A and B are shown apart, each in its own frame.
Chain A
Amino acid sequence: MKVAVCVKQIPDPADPGAMNPETKTLKRDVKLILDESDSYGVEMALQLVGEDGEVVLISMVPNNERNGLNNALAMGADSAILVSDDALAGSDALSTAKVLAAAIQRTEPDLVLAATESSDGYTGTVPEQVAELLGLPSVTFAKEVTIDSGNVAVKRQTEDGYDEVDCPLPALVSVTAGVVEPRYPSFKGIMAAKSKPVEELTLADLGIETSTVGWAGGRQEIVSIEPAPEREAGEIIEDEGDGHERIVAFLQEMKVI
């Protein structure tokens, strides 16, 4: 059993930075880390393959960054494919999906895992795009995943509960945050990660034209970036045993009670 996990390396969301007004994209000159959303996919893959399976990471960046990949390798993944190319800067979700799909195809996995949405761009469209490009069936928003004789069974989050979905492999599944408890890399894991194979590929290696990705491939333009209208703060009071009375008065004024 071989599972390919898409892992995005992103600027630390605790310090999301700013938009570059010239290029109109997120400034990404900071150190990238493993998107926490993808740590759930890595953990799930490790649990699903058990002892004899194989977990391959797939990541795309414009700048050779490996920090986040190393973290996922230290968790226990076996190897990684890193697609890195200057031309990838500014790629939209569809171009990203084309690159990831081409990289995944080389590994011929039984199952592809991704997060339902990334923490920085959160378009939430890449997994379905990858599945369509690979001609695979897919189940998104998984909160529980089990594999049994060539089938994947998924509990899929819905607006008012969940569906049980069955799907033959190979398939793609996107997992929601919080569904498993991602392990912390052990010291041994961190040391072992250093010697695990990371295959670095360029767009040329994948046979992808640079004009179809990055700025050129987006076919959309940002017209403007403006501050949103701010909401004014109202009255802030210190509770001196009467805080609840103020709330009651407010609710009465709103005719809620």
Chain B
Amino acid sequence: MANIWVHAETSGGVVSTITLELLAKARDLGEVTAFHAGADAEQVAAELGAHGATRILTTGDLDNGLPGPALASAVAAKASEESPDAILFGTTYGGRDVAGRLSVKMDAPVITNIVDLLDTDGLTGVEPVFGGTTNVKTRFTGEMPGIFLVRPKSFNAEAAGGDAATVEIMAVPDLGATGLAKVTNRFVEESDGPKLDEAGIVVSGGRGLGEADNFQMIEDLAGKLGGAAGASRAIVDAGWVPYSYQVGQTGKVVKPDVYIAAGISGATQHMVGMKGSKTIIAINKDPEAPIFSIADLGIVGDVHKVLPALLEAIGD
């Protein structure tokens, strides 16, 4: 049976959704070990077990050090003893840091941005390119474990109902200078309503809104529908909304039941972040806008007319 190792990202006893997504795939491929940095391994052991991990390898508390160097060193040492078949990471801030460092430690390349992993003649990653119009399948040819970075929302995070994972402490080798970066403060940007990448409904605005103040219509509509507000990069770069709103290749991947795009043209880099939505509604004044090619309902019209009318029609 294949041995699959999964990067478990947790914060204060809460397991991130991407970790559960990776576990759901990993347990189909073989025996699953989670590896982890932080003080909360015991707290998450039951949940990781229920999602398919039999064991957690943890560095324990890192005293505010960034996880990349410590976790990569510890995992590299452990992997040279146990030779796992594949090591999976989510494409997250932390995941990329650990994967990059680990790849050097093990002198192994990384297959990145994959949305599926096929078990055919060696594990093969599926990576969409050109805004998701083309799929490239890649596999490793060397002897080393395959390191994969997986895009969020690629797999469904369902529990399988296993026992709590056992917790095993890994030794962290001396990190030298690489361990010197320390977190001195953490800031959480509070927002009402569901998180953008977890919301069942996402309402996004783009440059077609005309000016920053008009983004309030997007916030209002998202609020009324119990969803989250998102944005194209054009208006993030213009400073209308923070980066955390951005949907797309360099922003968040969303897969809500309904995605409403208002005044967004539908550039490939935007579409790659939302074309997995169950249904898509687009409002754009240009009938040729590419967004219409993937919309279930397209309204060729002016956002300054359609959005206010829609807000009024929905009421409170």
Interface-located stretch among B35-43, B45-53, B154-162, B286-294: B286-294
Give min CB distance, A72 to chain B, whole Å. 20
Interface-located stretch among A63-71, A78-86, A127-135, A190-198: A127-135
Q: Is A237 an interface residue (CB 8 A)?
A: yes
Q: Is A32 an interface residue (CB 8 A)?
A: no
Cross-chain contact A19 with B297 (CB below 8 angstroms): no
Cross-chain contact A125 with B258 (CB below 8 angstroms): no
CA–CA, A221 to B113, complex, Å?
16
Cross-chain contact B181 with A166 (CB below 8 angstroms): yes
Interface-located stretch among B26-34, B55-63, B171-179, B209-217: B171-179
Size class of the contact patch on chain A: 35 or more
Give min CB distance, B309 to chain A, whole Å. 4
Q: Which of B68, B130, B137 contacts A223 (CB 8 A)?
A: B137
Q: Which of B105, B132, B137, B188 contacts A161 (CB 8 A)?
A: B188
A221-B138 CB under 8 A given contacts A158-B186, A228-B132, A233-B298: yes
Cross-chain contact A245 with B101 (CB below 8 angstroms): no
Who on chain A is nearest to B96 by CB? A124
Cross-chain contact A137 with B258 (CB below 8 angstroms): no
Interface-located stretch among A42-50, A51-59, A103-111, A248-256: A248-256
Cross-chain contact B299 with A93 (CB below 8 angstroms): no
CA–CA, A33 to B310, complex, Å?
44
Q: Which of A16, A18, A124, A257 contacts B112 (CB 8 A)?
A: A124
Cross-chain contact B296 with A234 (CB below 8 angstroms): yes
Who on chain B is nearest to A133 by CB? B104
Q: Which of B112, B135, B180, B314 contacts A123 (CB 8 A)?
A: B112
Interface residues of A in 155-184 (CB under 8 A from B): 156-168, 171, 176-178
What is the number of residues of chain B that contact chain A, defined by CB distance less than 8 Å? 88
Q: Is B166 an interface residue (CB 8 A)?
A: no
Q: Is A218 an interface residue (CB 8 A)?
A: yes
Cross-chain contact B310 with A223 (CB below 8 angstroms): no
Q: Is B85 an interface residue (CB 8 A)?
A: no
A251-B225 CB under 8 A given contacts A125-B103, A162-B187, A236-B295: yes
A129-B103 CB under 8 A given contacts A164-B184, A171-B181: yes
Interface residues of B in 162-198 (CB under 8 A from A): 176-189, 195
Q: Is A204 an interface residue (CB 8 A)?
A: no
A132-B104 CB under 8 A given contacts A235-B298, A243-B309: yes
Cross-chain contact A220 with B138 (CB below 8 angstroms): yes
Q: Is A140 an interface residue (CB 8 A)?
A: yes
B residues in contact with A176, CB < 8 Å: 243
Q: Which of A93, A137, A163, A238 contacts B301 (CB 8 A)?
A: A238
Who on chain B is nearest to A101 by CB? B104
A residues in contact with B257, CB < 8 Å: 254, 256
Count of CB-CB pairs between chains A and B under 8 Å: 250
Q: Is A188 an interface residue (CB 8 A)?
A: no
CA–CA, A94 to B249, complex, Å?
22
Give min CB distance, A147 to chain B, whole Å. 14
CA–CA, A139 to B103, complex, Å?
17
A135-B176 CB under 8 A given contacts A220-B141, A239-B300: yes
- Residue interface mask B222-246, A partner, CB < 8 A = 1: 0001000000000011000001100
Cross-chain contact A247 with B299 (CB below 8 angstroms): yes
B residues in contact with A131, CB < 8 Å: 100-101, 178
Cross-chain contact B109 with A161 (CB below 8 angstroms): no
Cross-chain contact B310 with A129 (CB below 8 angstroms): no
Q: Which of B144, B177, B296 contacts A136 (CB 8 A)?
A: B177
Cross-chain contact B132 with A247 (CB below 8 angstroms): no
Cross-chain contact A125 with B99 (CB below 8 angstroms): yes
A residues in contact with B133, CB < 8 Å: 227-228, 230
A residues in contact with B24, CB < 8 Å: none
Cross-chain contact A138 with B109 (CB below 8 angstroms): no
Q: Is B44 an interface residue (CB 8 A)?
A: no
Give min CB distance, A235 to chain B, whole Å. 6
CA–CA, A197 to B274, complex, Å?
45
Cross-chain contact A128 with B299 (CB below 8 angstroms): no
Interface residues of B in 259-316 (CB under 8 A from A): 260, 275, 279, 281, 283, 287, 292-302, 305-306, 309-310, 313-314
CA–CA, A93 to B283, complex, Å?
39
Who on chain B is nearest to A158 by CB? B93
Cross-chain contact B294 with A231 (CB below 8 angstroms): yes
A124-B91 CB under 8 A given contacts A161-B187, A239-B306, A243-B301: yes
A93-B104 CB under 8 A given contacts A243-B283, A251-B225: no
B residues in contact with A248, CB < 8 Å: 310, 313-314
B residues near A (Cβ < 8 Å) are 16, 66, 68-69, 72, 91-93, 96-97, 99-101, 103-105, 107-113, 124, 128-130, 132-142, 144, 149, 176-189, 195, 201, 225, 236-237, 243-244, 249-250, 257-258, 260, 275, 279, 281, 283, 287, 292-302, 305-306, 309-310, 313-314
User: Can you list 6 A-B contacts with CB-CB less than 8 angstroms, sorted by A residue number?
Assistant: A131-B100, A166-B182, A178-B236, A243-B309, A248-B310, A254-B279
Given contacts A128-B100, A138-B68, 4 further A-B contacts (CB under 8 A): A122-B112, A138-B66, A163-B187, A228-B135
